[in-house]
Amino acid sequence: MSKTKRYTITAALPYANGPLHLGHIAGAYLPADIYVRYLKSQGHDVAFICGSDEHGAAITLRAKKEGKTPQQIVDENHQIIKKAFTDFGIDFSIYHRTSSPIHHETATGFFKDLNDKNAFTQETSEQFYDEKEQQFLADRYIIGTCPKCNYDNAYGDQCEKCGSTLSPTDLINPKSAISGNTPILKETSHWYLPMNKHEDWLRKWLEEGKLDNQFHHDPKLWKKNVLGQCKSWIDNGLQARSITRDLDWGVKVPIEGAEGKVLYVWFDAPIGYISATKEWAKQNGKNWEDYWKKEDAELIHFIGKDNIVFHAIIFPIILKAHGDYILPTNVPANEFLNLEGDKISTSRNWAVWLHEYLADFPGRQDELRYVLTSIAPETKDSEFTWKDYQARVNNELVAIFGNFVNRTVVLTHKYFNGLTPTLNKCDEIDDEVLAAIPKAKAKVNELITQFKFRDAQTEAMTLARIGNKYLADTEPWKLIKTDEDKVKTILNISLQICEALSDIFLPFLPQTCCNLKKILNLKSEETISPQHQIGEAKLLFQKIENDVIEAQIKKLKESNKKQSNPKANPMKDEITFDDFTKMDIRTGTILTAEKHPDADKLLKMTVDTGIDVRTIVSGIAEHYAPEEIIGKQVSVLINLAPRKIRGIVSQGMILMAEDNEGNLAFVSPEKAIDNGGEIR
């Protein structure tokens, strides 16, 4: 047994801008949880740290959109995320949050300390400022016309139409995405982290695993994608990076004259790991510094591939600049998980949300853990499909693992009343199977320490396969008629395998292993031995039927269409441009309007279409009084076949927009247009 160590394991802080989906789980949280459960089972001292990242411009924007305060937004999401983690069985030591006072103190202190050590530089520049909203605008929140392709909804950092990288000042007609106002240029001063100064030691640390000329970690254990990306950053020359922002939501810059400025979330967020550790230590009578400042502690960050440079370059620089902190010995970054043939997308609502899975499949978190580990994107993007989920649960968990345990337990009850039989004389096959148990354990442990969780889980499943094959080869149900002693040996060994499975699967399927221990009637530290009474047979896993899977696929496909407005109707079938040009839509002015004599909901109007003056009947009487719409400019579909409505011929259709509650609004030109002007 190797001696125990102290570990600080972090999982990327989820951004409190929305709930968690399966991609988040497969990418960072599940592998971290497996690793932590493994470390704990080996007796190590582990702080497993996570929490909500609650700052940044995206949250303030969302708050504005929804008419809430940023605090309300993060409070809501923090609760949803935290509950989902708990229900799913991610075993954090603490799930903290960056809006907490202890985090603000910690981040502030960190900034001050580095500032005192002259670890930062300060620079002044001109940036766009929205006078109405009284705030500086991040590049992403400036919209204007692309100077290269004339696309008029290009962002300040990039044009999504032609893909060119832009600077906000490149845009023609820049507009604030928040208010629509034209922003002005205003001088502002920011703090920068001069990363270029850190290139030399970073290179040695990453490439050779050496820090201050001493062994720090084995770079061969790092993933290719992580090293590759870091190396390319350093090779291209690191630049000073701004660590403050002009925003009112976040950790205030603790310097006089820096009012209205906050720490950039990527300076603030990783410090969240430290503040969370402090809070956990306080609650549990520990010393947080043991986990961050002692050389014998090991720090490991579990993240997704989009976070690599922040955890493998920027945060290490910050820690090193401070001087007292340890650096990560590994940053196992996973690639991304796709879903049913497409990228997971929050904005398109193409995702399986963790909290919804838990609601739809109560108590079946281990099935999801198993599948997500089986397809974990460890070396490349991988794909989750519901059919695959069903197949893996039914053909592997149920048929191999669950089935082996069940047949062993059932046989033991049938032949020996549930009393563990004695291990009698062993033949070659028995010895081989017995030897496979420690071998499997060793192999699984080795793979876990190499962060190869997918292979490790497959290896664990192999032990269940060995069990099934053992029963098929020895056929105790036949032998029972002729050689009961032999059957005793077989079932003793089979029960030992069951027990081993409950240990070996513990990091992967914690709930199942707990259930299995109950079936075997084993309390912790107890082991299977002759005359031990096992519990009743109970199925570890249930088969998943087709209709359940089809319902999930249907739900996914429907929710995808909802987009930002869940009640909006699905898109109609695609049409050609020719189809569109067939519609003749013009600007017109309402000349007269009166209630339809024979209908409550209809107005009879005369409209000047620029071509002619015609009568149109429209069902808007409940939304507009006749007198208030006279003189209004509207959009009219003029080549629609005339139609009699309650006795009056209507010659065209006035375009209306309808909201979720059925309220109507005219679609009118935003400034006066000649009647007859074409809309296209």
Partner RNA sequence: GGCGAGGUAGCUCAGUUGGUUAGAGCGCCGGAUUCAUAACCCGGAGGUCGAGAGUUCAAAUCUCUCUCUCGCUACCA
User: How far apart are CB 641 and RNA at their closest, in Å?
Assistant: 43
Instruction: List, in order, residues 6 or more apart from 298 with CB less than 8 Å away.
Output: 5, 6, 7, 8, 326, 329
390/587 with CB nearer RNA = 390
3-state helix, strand and coil shares in percent for the chain, rounded to the nearest 5: 45, 20, 35
Long-range contacts of 71-74 (CB under 8 A, 24+ apart): 71/99, 73/16, 73/17, 74/16, 74/99
122/284 with CB nearer RNA = 122
Q: Which of 210, 543, 595, 623 binds RNA (CB under 7 A)?
A: 543
User: How far apart are CB 128 and RNA at their closest, in Å?
Assistant: 9
Q: Which of residues 101-130 bind RNA (CB under 7 A)?
A: 125, 127
Number of residues located near RNA, criterion CB under 7 A: 86
Q: Which stretch binds RNA (CB under 7 A): 281-289, 390-398, 440-448, 513-521?
A: 390-398
Q: Is 57 in the site for RNA (CB under 7 A)?
A: yes
CA angle at residue 435 from 429 to 441, to 5 degrees?
140
148/231 with CB nearer RNA = 231
Q: Is 396 in the site for RNA (CB under 7 A)?
A: yes
User: How far apart are CB 353 and RNA at their closest, in Å?
Assistant: 18
Q: In Å, how far from its chain's centre is CA 309?
A: 18
In the numeric block, which tokens belong to residue 333?
């970054």
Which residues on neighbouring strands pair with residue 299, listed in sequence order? 8, 328
Q: Which of residues 564-623 bind RNA (CB under 7 A)?
A: none
Q: Which has the closest alpha carbon to 313: 217, 209, 238, 219?
A: 238
Q: Is 286 in the site for RNA (CB under 7 A)?
A: no
Q: Which of 134, 173, 236, 347 binds RNA (CB under 7 A)?
A: 236
Q: Is 367 in the site for RNA (CB under 7 A)?
A: no
Pairing mode, strands 94-97 and 45-52: parallel
Q: Which stretch binds RNA (CB under 7 A): 63-71, 539-547, 653-661, 664-672?
A: 539-547
128 close to 142: Cβ distance less than 8 angstroms: yes
137 close to 128: Cβ distance less than 8 angstroms: yes
Q: Which of 20, 74, 154, 238 binds RNA (CB under 7 A)?
A: 238
Q: Which stretch binds RNA (CB under 7 A): 231-239, 513-521, 601-609, 662-670?
A: 231-239
User: How far apart are CB 586 and RNA at their closest, in Å?
Assistant: 40
Name the DSSP class of 656: E
How many CA atoms lie less than 13 Å away from 301 in the CB half-sphere? 26
Q: Is 31 in the site for RNA (CB under 7 A)?
A: no
User: How far apart are CB 612 and RNA at their closest, in Å?
Assistant: 50
Q: Which of residues 73-102 bind RNA (CB under 7 A)?
A: none
Q: Between the CA of residue 436 and those of 155, 440, 470, 508, 520, what are the distances in Å?
A: 60, 6, 11, 20, 20
Q: Is 65 in the site for RNA (CB under 7 A)?
A: no
Q: Which has the closest alpha carbon to 468: 517, 399, 422?
A: 399
User: How far apart are CB 513 and RNA at their closest, in Å?
Assistant: 14
Q: Which stretch binds RNA (CB under 7 A): 469-477, 528-536, 547-555, 584-592?
A: 469-477
Instruction: List, in order, residues 6 or more apart from 318 with CB less than 8 Å away.
Output: 110, 114, 193, 267, 270, 271
User: How far apart are CB 411 and RNA at their closest, in Å?
Assistant: 5
Q: Which of 101, 347, 472, 567 binds RNA (CB under 7 A)?
A: 472
In the numeric block, which tokens belong to residue 428?
């070659």
Q: Is 625 in the site for RNA (CB under 7 A)?
A: no
The span from the CA of 57 to the CA of 266, in Å, is: 12
The span from the CA of 157 to the CA of 139, in Å, is: 5
Torsion sign, CA atoms 164, 165, 171, 175: positive
User: How far apart are CB 262 and RNA at their closest, in Å?
Assistant: 10
Q: Which of residues 431-460 bind RNA (CB under 7 A)?
A: 454-455, 458
Residues in contact with RNA, shown as a per-residue x/- string from 316 to 355 under the rule CB under 7 A: -------------------xx------x------------
Q: What are phi and psi of 38, to 5 degrees?
A: -65, -50
Q: Which of residues 402-421 bind RNA (CB under 7 A)?
A: 402-403, 406-407, 410-411, 414
Residues in contact with RNA, shown as a per-residue x/- string from 155 to 194 under the rule CB under 7 A: -xx-----x-x------------------------x----
Q: Is 134 in the site for RNA (CB under 7 A)?
A: no
The span from the CA of 475 to the CA of 416, in Å, is: 16
